A and B are shown apart, each in its own frame.
Chain A
Amino acid sequence: MTCVEVRENLVICWGDADELSAEVLAHLAECEACRLEAMLLRETRIMLRSLPDEQAPVGLTEGVLARLADEEAQVGLPGRVAAWFVPQDQPAWARAAAVGVALALAVAGGSVLYHGQQPAGNEPETVVATTQGQVPGQAEYDELLLRHRALEASQALADDPGVTLVTYYR
């Protein structure tokens, strides 16, 4: 796997090791530059998560997606969005960070404008941005995984926990 391919993967999941393939992880183990890029992406995501949790105004995402659909993209969605804001020759983390910051600011700013135009107490009709509470976090995954492994362990042909440790983690 090349550094370019690895960095495209990193951008998609913000460098989260839980969501990277074994091939990408193997590359990261060998390549210091890509490891640094993964670290920067993770830190960018942490920074973005610290921004106020707001909902995007109605129509913002549809407008963005409509424009994206017009492009004959050669890369994935994050790459296409990134190309809007930062030239392709910039590092992946810079493009991802720019997209994140721009969208976060757009959502926060749009939300202020949106709420300013709405009558008080009238909830938005469409929820576009996924709130943090709706995305299953590590804690929920841990709980479900532990429950599932306990069920597996009760079965006649179960492997010992040392094998399932390798199967389910990393």
Chain B
Amino acid sequence: MSRLGRLAAIAGVATVVTAFALAQMDDPLEILRRSILARGTVDFAGMRTVVIFEGGEKVRGVEQQVQCQAPHRTRITVTAPDSEAGTMCLIVDRVQWEYDPHTQRVVRTQLAPVERVVQQRLRDLERVAEHMRLQYCGTEAIAGRTAHVIKVYTQQGVPVKKSWVDGQSWVTLKTQRFDPQGRVKSSAYFTRINYAPSFPPGTFDFQPPAGATVIAAARAPERMPLSRAEQRAGFQAVLPEYLPPGYSFQNDRVAVIQLGGQAALWLPFSNGAETFSLFQRPGTGPRDTLRRGRSITWQAGGYRFTLLGPLSAEDMQQVRASIRP
């Protein structure tokens, strides 16, 4: 057989094997598991678009350059719009930097070892599989790659997340998140991706600029059952009577943290794909509901509450109204 013929034969076999593998790989749990395990194993660089929606309407969009060098280096830089360009997130080994040149704010976060994060996510994935519905939706092309499409629903049938996972590298190429009404509330997707990138020297270097404010994130607190947390904090939790569809209280993942020198209960709520937090501590707060970013703070019954997370303004108000000390 000629050299050309052999190459054609190899290409043909590879195509058949790939097609066969894709056809066999229709277990959504296994695809998500491989996606988690792929973290830190693949070099890639590409351009990604992130769009945020409110009530089904697009309210914000940014373009990002994503550079990932296995095993532990990632740089994500906003390239557009101009008003946000230069904002970046950099991960080198176990340190994550976030820098906004417009506000001159730097956030430094000490990360857990990647192996531990992967194990935690795999355990969490088992819980997702037990409590949620995973659906395999076939394959689609994203940024020129063939991707498996997985949709995650609550047991009540509310869609929460859709992921497009590269069929060969297992890198997540696109994600969509949905609000409780089933409308897309965020979308992030690669428009270009290259799995053989070269990274210019200094790509993963960072020093906080002179004059920037550096904020250090606190270490993760111990998680415990509610009863133990209440005992440690010295007061009872006030739980909301209303939760958005699909959400439930994470009774075994409560924490006690110090806020302003006082013990505060940190109460997490999750629908399996997303989480919002309720912080409760004794004391007073603003008379009216104070909104800051994706949080609201208010006082009631001798407690000060802060609700924080990716909920819509409407859901936040409904949850807040149902907290009655």
Residues of A bordering B, CB below 8 Å: 18-19, 21-23, 29, 130, 134-136, 138, 140-148, 150-163, 165-170
A152 to B217, CA, bound (A): 14
Q: Does A134 lie within 8 Å of B309, measured CB to CB?
A: no
Is the C-beta of B96 less than 8 angstroms from some C-beta in chain A? yes
CB neighbours (8 Å) of A18 from chain B are 292-293
Q: Does B100 lie within 8 Å of A22, measured CB to CB?
A: no
Q: Known: A135-B286, A136-B285. Is A163-B186 also a contact (CB below 8 A)?
A: yes
A102 to B83, CA, bound (A): 36
A153 to B243, CA, bound (A): 22
B: interface residue count bin: 35 or more
A161 to B220, CA, bound (A): 17
Residues of B bordering A, CB below 8 Å: 32, 36, 48, 50, 52, 54, 59-60, 62, 64, 66, 74, 76, 81, 83-84, 87, 89, 91, 96, 98, 100, 107, 109, 117, 120-122, 124-125, 127-128, 152, 160-161, 163, 172, 175, 177, 186, 188, 215, 217-218, 220-221, 257, 259-260, 266, 268, 270, 272-277, 279, 283-287, 290-295, 297, 306, 308-310
Q: Does A156 lie within 8 Å of B188, measured CB to CB?
A: no
Interface centre among A134, A135, A140, A162 (most CB of B within 10 A): A162
**30 examples of A-B residue contacts, CB within 8 angstroms:** A21-B59, A29-B83, A134-B284, A135-B286, A135-B290, A136-B290, A136-B297, A138-B292, A145-B294, A145-B295, A145-B308, A146-B218, A147-B217, A147-B221, A152-B274, A154-B120, A154-B121, A154-B220, A156-B125, A156-B127, A157-B152, A157-B274, A162-B50, A162-B66, A162-B76, A165-B87, A166-B52, A166-B186, A166-B188, A168-B293
A167 to B309, CA, bound (A): 10
A44 to B276, CA, bound (A): 35
A169 to B308, CA, bound (A): 13
Q: Does B217 lie within 8 Å of A148, measured CB to CB?
A: no
How far apart are A134's CB and chain B's nearest CB, in angstroms? 6
How far apart are A6's CB and chain B's nearest CB, in angstroms? 15
A144 to B274, CA, bound (A): 16
Closest to A23 in B: B59
Q: Does B286 lie within 8 Å of A130, measured CB to CB?
A: yes
Contact of B50 among A151, A157, A163 (CB under 8 A): A163
CB neighbours (8 Å) of B160 from chain A are 157
Q: Which secondary structure characterizes the binding site on chain A? A: helix
A19 to B292, CA, bound (A): 6
A148 to B81, CA, bound (A): 27
CB neighbours (8 Å) of B308 from chain A are 144-145, 148
Closest to A152 in B: B275
Interface centre among A29, A142, A148, A161 (most CB of B within 10 A): A148
CB neighbours (8 Å) of B62 from chain A are 166
How far apart are A150's CB and chain B's nearest CB, in angstroms? 6
A152 to B83, CA, bound (A): 27
